[in-house]
């Protein structure tokens, strides 16, 4: 489905993601997404952060800036929104008080998208939302490979806060619940300090590969992407993109910034270098509009989502 023309969205005064059509909200369940290749779902939840909140507003602000992204991808040379029928599925609605119910509602919403045969692109919200998304994906695909961009490992335990589910734990829980294929967690941009020396051991024992910033410096983002693409092969891949994987100089609008991260250029190279993977879902999380300057984090976030959609379009268009 093509984008609305710029004049049309200006006339409406409303901006769905990328000026796309919205889902048939009057239809129940998966029928709302009939015929879609991909569905963008907002998840305005930031009740699971350990530091500065505000990511709940990202879906609204990312919709606004995504209007500036046009359909033709200059790298893959493909018209993404003609190659794919992409819908704005609106937001997952919940009272923002009870984290466990919110997780269940996110899982149910993603399940409807996948049941419709569409690939979910989930716009957080904080990183705790990745766990219910992975629960829904694993139900359909079995254990998935995960490409995880982040400053943080996100394999923390309940030891710190007395609570096993928050934005620092989604991948520990996903591993424990068997949602990830063994040896298929690829973590890029990791650089945050650790509380104890064993912090990196849990994921490593589960067969994860860490591409820390020294590895990016040494090999370059394109070579890292090529290594990951070769490693995952045809496996179903979930791309989980925490915006704090990017250096705060390029993406200041996030609640838990860590110096020394990826440039925006490296992030785009990384995602373009994953062409050919079997992408079954993506999230973009931890964008905090209130901490942003001149929408720079938002514009990057919208382009990263577009890069993910372009991977799907290029795969569909390739023989």
Q: Which is nearer to Mn ion, 63 or 127 (CB)?
A: 127
Q: Which is nearer to Mn ion, 117 or 195 (CB)?
A: 195
| Cα–Cα distance for residue pair 133/318, rounded to 1 Å | 27
Smallest gap from Cβ 152 to Mn ion, in A, equals 4
Q: Which is nearer to Mn ion, 118 or 149 (CB)?
A: 149
Smallest gap from Cβ 249 to Mn ion, in A, equals 16
Chain centroid offset of residue 310 CA: 14
Give, rounded to a whole angstrom, the gap between the first and last alpha carbons of the chain.
Answer: 21
Smallest gap from Cβ 24 to Mn ion, in A, equals 33
Q: Which residues bind Mn ion (CB under 5 A)?
A: 127, 150-152, 154, 242, 244
| Cα–Cα distance for residue pair 96/137, rounded to 1 Å | 23
Smallest gap from Cβ 55 to Mn ion, in A, equals 11
Closest of 98, 101, 134, 136 to residue 116, by C-alpha: 136
Cis-peptide, bond into residue 125, ω within 30° of zero: yes
SS3 content of the chain, % helix, strand, coil (to 5): 40, 20, 40
Closest of 251, 313, 311 to residue 282, by C-alpha: 311
Smallest gap from Cβ 13 to Mn ion, in A, equals 34
DSSP state of 162: S
Q: Which is nearer to Mn ion, 71 or 264 (CB)?
A: 264
Q: Which is nearer to Mn ion, 242 or 307 (CB)?
A: 242
Please state the φ and ψ torsions of residue 189, each to the nearest 5 degrees: 90, 5
- Is residue 173 within 8 Å of residue 165, measured between CB atoms? yes
Smallest gap from Cβ 95 to Mn ion, in A, equals 24
In the three-class reduction of DSSP (H, G, I as helix; E, B as strand; rest coil), residue 291 is classed as helix
- Is residue 204 within 8 Å of residue 212, measured between CB atoms? no
Q: Which is nearer to Mn ion, 19 or 152 (CB)?
A: 152
Smallest gap from Cβ 258 to Mn ion, in A, equals 7
| Cα–Cα distance for residue pair 316/178, rounded to 1 Å | 29
The answer to whether the Cα torsion of 84, 85, 89, 90 is positive or negative is positive
Q: Which is nearer to Mn ion, 67 or 151 (CB)?
A: 151
Smallest gap from Cβ 255 to Mn ion, in A, equals 9
Q: Which is nearer to Mn ion, 110 or 151 (CB)?
A: 151
């Amino acid at each position: 489905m093509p984008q609305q023309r710029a004049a049309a969205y200006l006339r409406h005064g409303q901006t769905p993601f990328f000026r796309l059509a919205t889902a048939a909200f009057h239809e129940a369940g998966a029928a709302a997404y009939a015929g879609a290749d991909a569905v963008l779902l907002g998840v305005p939840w930031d009740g699971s952060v350990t530091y500065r909140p505000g990511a709940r507003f990202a879906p609204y602000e990312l919709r606004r800036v995504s209007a500036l992204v046009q359909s033709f991808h200059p790298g893959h040379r493909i018209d993404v929104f003609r190659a794919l029928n992409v819908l704005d599925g609106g937001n997952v609605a919940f009272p923002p008080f009870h984290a466990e119910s919110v997780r269940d509602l996110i899982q149910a919403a993603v399940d409807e998208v996948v049941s419709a045969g569409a690939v979910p692109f989930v716009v957080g919200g904080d990183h705790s939302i990745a766990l219910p998304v992975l629960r829904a994906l694993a139900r359909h695909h079995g254990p998935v490979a995960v490409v995880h961009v982040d400053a943080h490992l996100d394999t923390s335990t309940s030891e710190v806060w007395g609570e096993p589910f928050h934005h620092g734990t989604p991948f520990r829980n996903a591993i424990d619940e068997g949602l990830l294929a063994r040896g298929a967690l690829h973590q890029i941009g990791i650089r945050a300090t650790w509380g104890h020396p064993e912090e990196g051991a849990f994921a490593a024992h589960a067969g994860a590969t860490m591409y820390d910033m020294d590895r990016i410096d040494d090999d370059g983002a394109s070579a890292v992407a090529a290594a990951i693409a070769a490693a995952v092969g045809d496996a179903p891949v979930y791309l989980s993109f925490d915006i704090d994987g990017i250096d705060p100089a390029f993406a200041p609008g996030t609640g838990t910034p860590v110096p020394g991260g990826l440039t925006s250029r490296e992030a785009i190279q990384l995602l373009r270098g994953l062409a050919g993977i079997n992408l079954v879902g993506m999230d973009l999380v931890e964008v905090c509009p209130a901490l942003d300057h001149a929408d720079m984090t938002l514009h990057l976030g919208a382009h990263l989502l577009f890069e993910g959609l372009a991977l799907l379009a290029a795969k569909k268009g390739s023989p």
